Amino acid sequence: MRRIGGLLAASPEPHMSQALLEVALAHSPRVEEAGPGLVYLDAAGLEGLFGGERQLGEGLCAAAAARGLNVHVGIAGSRLGARVAARSGGGVTIVQPAEDAAYLAPAPLALLDLPEEMAARLDRWGIRTLGELAALPPAALFERLGSEGPRLQRLARGEDLRPLIPWAPAPPFEESAECEWGLDTLEPVTMLLADLAEKICARLVRRGLSADGFEWICRLAGRSLHEGSLALAAPMSEASAIAALLRVALESRPPQGVVEAVTLKAHPQRVAPAQDSLTGRSRPSPRLVTAALTRLTALVGARQLGIPALLDSHRPDAVRLDPFHHPHPNPLPGRERESGSLSPSEGEGRGEGGGKNPAALVLRRLRPPCPAHVTLTSGRPVHLRSAALAGRIVTGAGPWRASGEWWTGGPWARDEWDVELADGTVCRLIHDGSAWFLDGIYD
């Protein structure tokens, strides 16, 4: 009889995955990794080793606690049932055989991790729980959703016939070479790295993988080390392109000494095949984008290049730079319309005359803010003089106080005013407690 155990970390962290796998492998020969903080294991036939299912679950919790992990265990006849049972948070939760469907019935439909389009369609039908999906007529569901409908219905009923995918350690994609006489110039080092990259790429291609990054270690004379890394904007497996990028990265920070040995390691990643839209905009080649970004990194440094991401702060312009990743191709034509979004042509003109989005002013920020001299009367600005704008202020709104990070060593606070000049220009002024600045101009 099929029985699956789910081992779920109470607070999943990336570094917990290996520890969870080790705990599961110590209790079952077949273990499947299901994401951060979650593993499945084959719980059938283990009575002779650990006793009943309750004793097996308690043993898993005790083994995890010995490693400093707080976990919940669920045992059921399907992956979904085991995951829902583990999420109940009761330590060890067991779903009795043949009761998966009844146990899953009140659970929300979101547990199936449906695509956005499918979730929206079922929501329009009024389907909110797994039990409501399981109660639909299978034939009618197939007519409307194709083979995907009955498959989802079987999962909602706890019918999971797919076998566990046994976890296996990833093979190391690493190559090393000794330099018998030592290399004291950069050219032979880059050629050696190119040879190592070619060997690694050949292994990646044989396994249908790509690499999204490389690391290298050069052992120098005197036993010192020179380490470096290359983060790719898009996973690649082309040896010639990777060799060129490694050369650029190494030239930006060459080893300072005679190189006696070189080790190159790749970060493998499996990339699902995708087809570009025939009607959508063409996208740049991932190889060309990666090459351009690598050259820019060599010029300005890795910390100065990336995608701005807002920080959880009220401080203006508080951002960090995240690594750039090449976007996935567009979905097949027509899917955006089915999910309710607008194409560019359908969205044009909504701001004027369409009545959907009212007209709004757009603030063009000045970075950095322009120093300004502001004359006050009764505490309100009446005249502005700066390098960008100058004139009499006819009306204004404010001040609005913005502040934050008072609990740190670098608190900040500022007052903001939106004012209109005599010539009709609308702009934003800020006062940080000691000086005035022109922060932006409204279009």
| Angle, vertex CA 409, rays to CA 407 and CA 415, nearest 5 | 70
pLDDT of residue 281: 66
Rounded CA-CA distance 342/30 in Å is 46
pLDDT at 423 over 70: yes
Higher pLDDT, 99 or 305: 99
Tell me if 314 is assigned to some domain: no
- Same domain (yes/no): 134, 10: yes
Question: What is the rounded average pLDDT of the residues 98-103?
Answer: 91
pTM recorded for the entire structure: 0.50
Question: Could you report the per-residue pLDDT of 379-398, keeping only the tens digit for each?
Answer: 899 999 999 899 999 999 98
Among 112, 140, 169, the domain boundary falls at: 169
Give the total number of structural domains in the chain.
Answer: 3
Question: Could you report the per-residue pLDDT of 194-220, keeping only the tens digit for each?
Answer: 999 999 999 999 888 888 889 999 999
Q: What is the DSSP letter of 10?
A: S
- Same domain (yes/no): 54, 160: yes
Radius of gyration, alpha carbons of the chain? 30
Which among 228, 210, 226, 196 has a CA at the least distance from the CA of 272?
Answer: 210
- Same domain (yes/no): 369, 428: yes
Rounded CA-CA distance 295/1 in Å is 58
Residues 73 and 61 sit within 8 Å (Cβ to Cβ): yes
pLDDT at 376 over 70: yes
Kindly give the residue spans of alpha helices, DSSP state H, lying in 237-392: 239-252, 286-300, 335-338, 344-347
Question: Could you report the per-residue pLDDT of 266-300, keeping only the tens digit for each?
Answer: 988 877 666 666 666 666 666 677 667 767 776 77
Which among 249, 253, 327 has a CA at the least distance from the CA of 295?
Answer: 249
Tell me if 352 is assigned to some domain: no
Tell me if 338 is assigned to some domain: no
- Same domain (yes/no): 162, 183: no
pLDDT of residue 324: 65
**Domain at 254, CATH number:** 3.30.1490.100
- Same domain (yes/no): 144, 193: no
Which residues, in sequence order, are CB contacts of 65 under 8 Å at separation 6+?
A: 71
Range of the domain at 252: 174-269
| Angle, vertex CA 158, rays to CA 153 and CA 159, nearest 5 | 75
Tell me if 279 is assigned to some domain: no
pLDDT at 416 over 80: yes
Among 138, 169, 200, the domain boundary falls at: 169
- Same domain (yes/no): 152, 189: no
Tell me if 284 is assigned to some domain: no
**Domain at 16, CATH number:** 3.30.70.270
Tell me if 301 is assigned to some domain: no
- What integer best gives the mean pLDDT of the chain? 83
- Same domain (yes/no): 154, 198: no
Share of the chain above pLDDT 90, in %: 33
Among 269, 295, 320, the domain boundary falls at: 269
- Same domain (yes/no): 255, 182: yes
Tell me if 127 is assigned to some domain: yes
- Same domain (yes/no): 140, 188: no
- Same domain (yes/no): 147, 244: no
- Same domain (yes/no): 59, 121: yes
Tell me if 303 is assigned to some domain: no
Model confidence band, residue 325 (pLDDT cutoffs 50, 70, 90)? low
- Same domain (yes/no): 178, 128: no
